[in-house]
Every structure is written in C-alpha cells, then in structure tokens.
Structure 1
Amino acid sequence: MRVPSRSPGQPPGTPLAAAPAHRLPAEGARQPVPAATPDLDAYRAAVADLLVEVTALADPASTTARQVLLDERLREPAIAAVLDATPQGPIGARETLLLEMARYRPNPRSSAADLTALVRIYLLSRIDVMWWRDAPAFRTDAQVQASPDLVDLEWLRRRDLLRFRYQEQPVTLLGRGVRAARRQLLPDARPRTAGLRFRRARREVIALLNDIGREFARLAPPATPPLWVTSLVRSAEYQYQLRRLGYSAMVPSGHCLGYAVDVELAWFARFGVRDALAHLLLARQRAGEVNVVDEGQTWHLCLSPAARPRFRRAYEAEMGA
C-alpha cells in the first residue's frame, strides 16, 4: 500500500494546517511546542541576510566586529522569536554560537566548509530544537538500541518496504578494509559516507523518507539510484564523539531526538538530478513537513510536529501495523 503524500485534495506545495502535534500513546514524552508560532519564513530570510554580513567579516581580524554583529542581529524580532522558543533562549543560543565560531577549524570531516556555513547550520538547526524542545533525547547508544519507538530498517529492507538506500558503518577491521577496497575500485558507485551508526528510525521518519523516495523516483530519469540516507538517529553520546572527531555536530540536535535525517545531495550531480532533489526537499519545507538545512554534500531534514501524526498514520497504513 502506498504512503499518501499529502492530504486528499491538497495540491503540492500547499502549506499544511498548523495544528498542534498529538503524542501517541506509545510515547511518554510531553507534547512539543506548536510549530507555527514564530514566522519561519521571516526567520530564514533574516538568517540569510545575516550570513551575507558574516561572510564580509569572516577574516580572523574581524572577530570583535562579528560579535557586535551577532549581538545586534540576534535581537531582531524575526530571529529572537525562534531562539526564545528554544530551551537555551536567545542569550544561551548567542553564547553557544560564539563559542562554536571561536572553536571552528576547517577540516575535511566538517560539513561546515567555512565560518558562514557554520553559522547557517547552527541557526537553521535551531528550528528543529524549537519544534521538539520537550522531546526526550536518546542519551546513550544503549537507549537507541533498546527504544520501542524505533524500528529496525534491515527488517523492512529485506521485505522491500523501503524506498531509500543506506549503508551501515563497518564495525570490524575486515569490514573497514572491504569498504576501503570497494571505494578504490569503484569510487563513485556510492556516496562517500561513513554510513549509519544505528540502522533504526522512528516510524514517522520512515514514512516521510519513503514518500520522498517515491516522489524522487518519479521525477528522476531511468537508472537513477534511489534516495540515499547518510544519517538517522544518533545518541547524545555519539553526537559528542562526532564533535571530538571534527564533525560539525550541533548540540542539541534533532538527530538525538530521532526526528532528523541527512540525505545525500552532491553525489546525485553525476546523474543530473541534484538540483531536482533539492527543489523537491525545499517544496517539502514550504509545505510545512520538514525543516531543511543545506550542509553541502548532504542536506539535513527534520520532521515537523505538525506533519508527524499524518506520517505516523501513513506508516501504519503501509506496513499494516
């Protein structure tokens, strides 16, 4: 059974009704903050304007000027409305951002190619944190593995119930050697990604990815590979490990709540469909289904609370759960 892409009679790109999200009986967390309180279009536009100024002050000698700029711009109503709805509040968000900028060092592992990208990733990911501010995080790897709210993707893959692909991280020395040899022999056969630490995901997220995967398959030319997912749920324990390794893993993060995913974009340029996939994802953002953060090679998506109940129903209808 096909997961319905939108409500009956709702044309693509039409914003969803901003209804409060309802927690399902299986989850004991408190209800998240309604997603439609701040004006997210105004927030994203204000962030885009701020990034232009950050780029002009990106040199090391402009550290003080950047701090003055952030002091002023983060107080603007469009930005402050979102930051005020996060657990840290605007002051905590400002201090965290300044600390991230002070610690930033470019490296091949980081999705933040420069200081401007770091600011963009941090500020746009605060929408995720605002949406799910009351959702409990998975603190340890053991909590991720044991959670009844997460489903094993491999079980679904073997039954041809997934419309996207992924690869797991190799856990043995032999597995890492095989992965390295495959990359040397066929360097472009798969995206360059470490793979999933956990092959588990929330039911609603699976339904969202299946829906995007089907739409992508319809618009892509024949022989184009399916949608590729590079990251799903993470524990806070793993998120801090990624930070120590040099990745721009923000804290707090929608990944640690199970509502965020990363999908490959750059690899699809070789098939001529990178821009088409980008437009598809941005259309989903305009429809109110997800928050989208351009992280370069991959794009970060976070499911909105307003869309969660519909995708939960879609998962149950498709999987017969």
Structure 2
Amino acid sequence: MRVPSRSPGRQPGPAVTSTAPARRVPAAGPRAGAEPDLSAYRAAVAELLVEVGALADAPSVTARQVLLDQRLREPAIAAVLDVTPQGLIGARETLLLEMARYQPNARSSAQDLTALVRIYLLSRVDVLWWRDSPTFLTDDQVRASTELVDLEWLRRRGLIEFRYQEQPATVVGRGLRAVRRRLRPAATPRTAGLLFRRARREMIAFLNDLAREFTAVAPDGTPPLWVTSLARSAEHQYRLRRLGYAAMVPSGHCLGWAADVELEWYDRFGARPVLAGLLLARQDAGEVNVVDEGQAWHVCLAPAARRRYRRAYETEMGV
C-alpha cells in the first residue's frame, strides 16, 4: 500500500485569503533537453494561488494581471508553460482571458478565481506530457477510435473494478434519473455521467488498480471507486464550456489520458481523505498528475507509466 507523501509539491487546497508569502529567489532554469521539475512547478503554483486569493475582489483586475505577468515568468513555472503547445505567452494570454470571462455558477468546478487559476495551471502538466498525442476532435472520432475500448463490454464480463454511469440518451431516461435522485439523493454521486463510455486500455488498467487499492484501505461499507468522466472530444469540451463548466482547452480528456474521480461523495463514508491520499501518493511517485476540482479530482496518467499499465491491461484481459 502506498503511503501519502507530505511533500511541499502537493496539490494546493482551497483559496487562502491571507497575506502573500515572501517572494522566492528564482531558481536557475532547467538544462537544455531536461524535463521540467514538476514538484517545483506545483510548489510555485501553490504560492501563486495564495497571492491570487488575496487579490480576488473585482477592483484588483490590474493587480492580478501584473501578478501573473511576473509570476508566470519565474523559472519554475515558465519551464513548464514554455514547453506546452501554446508556449509561455500563449498560456499567459489564455489564462488572462479565462479569468476575464469567468462567471461563477453551480455547474463549474471553479468556484472562484483562485480555483480557476489552480485548475488551469495544474492541468498544463497534462498537455506538457502528452503534447505529441493527437486530439479527439469530434464525438465521432471518440466513438470510432480503435485506441479506446468500450467499458460496458468489459463491465458485463466482470473486468471493471470501478463504477460509472452513463448520461441518459432520452427525455424519458433523464426523467427516470431525476426521480431516482429525488427518492435516493445520496445513493450515487451527483454527476451527469459519461457521454462516452470509452477509455484507453492503459487508463482502464490504472483505474482498476486504483479501485482495488481504495477498496483495500477505505473504511468498511465504502462503495467502490466512482469515475465521472473519461475520454471526450474537443467538440464536447466546447459544449461543456458553453454550459458554464470549467472545461480547459486543450485538455487531457481530449487526448484520452485523463479521468475525473469522485471525491466529495465519499465524505459521507469517511473515505475522502483516504482516496485523496492515494491519488496524491501516486502523483508524488510520478505516476499521475492530479488536479483538485472540488467534487471530483482530475487525474492524468504520466507517459512514464504508460507501458506498465498497458502490460497490466493485457494481463488482466488475457490478450
């Protein structure tokens, strides 16, 4: 069993509205060809979030822009953003635009500006890792891709260790879902469900492994791991954005390498800290990137773990 680390590079928590910490002395940039230091990046983002939280009021727009101009150019952050597809300047402009357009709403995982900045910056690790992976541009590409496997086919054969639910496809289905929620409001996580019940083989093996570990260490009576989102298309990502969700572009979901795992629902079973600890321990081990999105946590598999989980999938499925 993995033991959660207490490293300072861990995912930051909710917005903090205290005085910003003393500024760090910028470290030397990475050597040419070296991978960016992700622990340093996450620590620098955590410090930046404290300062953003202190400038979260409406009159602080200019001060926030100046802050971001300065902090995004610091070596620990710039080293990551500079090697994403957008580059440092593109990432900066996108983040400022996201902040200018931000409107809090019940659907969005970004409950405030600090959460928006956290989700955007930490999700850039996904696109750094998988910058050469092709994007699923349309819904039809997700449905037809041979890189993705149908979860339902596996579930019926007892080969899926985690739970999920699909989005109802009809008005009648949505009505029945609403009735079940009224009758048993806490029986399942409150989620729209999967539009596409398809995932990469490596992601299935990873989620099965996480689900087994969670079952082994969670308090008695805790339900199995719930997955609320897997692969989706850029077309659907923009659809979510129009509905008010904090769906970042580009996204690890649209590359097939990310999933969202329910966290909030497990509070009622006393299991949320356990699951959070497992995810963060795997991040500390370099296996995944984790982004705290409130109700669910976004998890992206690292390229270094791809081969191991592909072998695990083939062993589990007997292929």
The match for 2:40 among 23, 42, 50 is 42
Aligned to 2:269: 271
Shift in Å at residue 244 of structure 1?
A: 0.3
Aligned to 1:90: 88
CA-based RMSD of the aligned residues comes to 1.4
Q: Secondary structure at the match of 2:290?
A: strand
Q: d(CA) in 1 for partners of 2:117 and 2:298?
A: 15
Higher relative contact order (CA 8 A, sep 6+): 1
Q: Work out whether residues 138 and 257 of structure 1, in 8 Å CA contact, stay in contact via their aligned partners in 2.
A: yes
Aligned to 1:20: none
Aligned to 1:304: 302
Superposed CA offset, 1:65-106 (max 9, x none): 000000000000000000011010000000000000000000
Alignment identity in percent? 76
Q: d(CA) in 1 for partners of 2:293 and 2:147?
A: 27
The match for 2:123 among 122, 125, 132 is 125
Q: Secondary structure at the match of 2:286?
A: coil
The match for 1:115 among 97, 113, 116 is 113
Q: d(CA) in 1 for partners of 2:120 and 2:114?
A: 10
TM-score normalised by length of structure 2 = 0.90
The match for 1:69 among 53, 67, 70 is 67
Shift in Å at residue 13 of structure 1?
A: 7.0
Q: Work out whether residues 12 and 287 of structure 1, in 8 Å CA contact, stay in contact via their aligned partners in 2.
A: no
Structure 1 counterpart of 2:93, one-letter code: E
Aligned to 2:29: none
Q: Secondary structure at the match of 1:252?
A: coil
Q: d(CA) in 2 for partners of 1:47 and 1:288?
A: 18
What is the correspondence of 1:186-265 to structure 2 with a 5 Å cutoff?
Answer: 186-265=184-263
Q: d(CA) in 1 for partners of 2:52 and 2:297?
A: 21
Aligned to 2:79: 81
The match for 1:56 among 22, 43, 54 is 54
Runs of 4+ in 1 over 4 A off after TM superposition: 11-14
Shift in Å at residue 222 of structure 1?
A: 2.5
Structure 1 counterpart of 2:210, one-letter code: I
Shift in Å at residue 36 of structure 1?
A: 7.2
Q: d(CA) in 2 for partners of 1:237 and 1:196?
A: 15
Aligned CA distance change for structure 1 residues 183 and 13 (closer, same or farther; 3 Å): closer
1:293 paired to 2:278: no
TM-score normalised by length of structure 1 = 0.89
What is the correspondence of 1:95-110 to structure 2 with a 5 Å cutoff?
Answer: 95-110=93-108
Aligned CA distance change for structure 1 residues 50 and 290 (closer, same or farther; 3 Å): same
Q: Work out whether residues 4 and 277 of structure 2, in 8 Å CA contact, stay in contact via their aligned partners in 1.
A: no
Q: Secondary structure at the match of 1:307?
A: helix
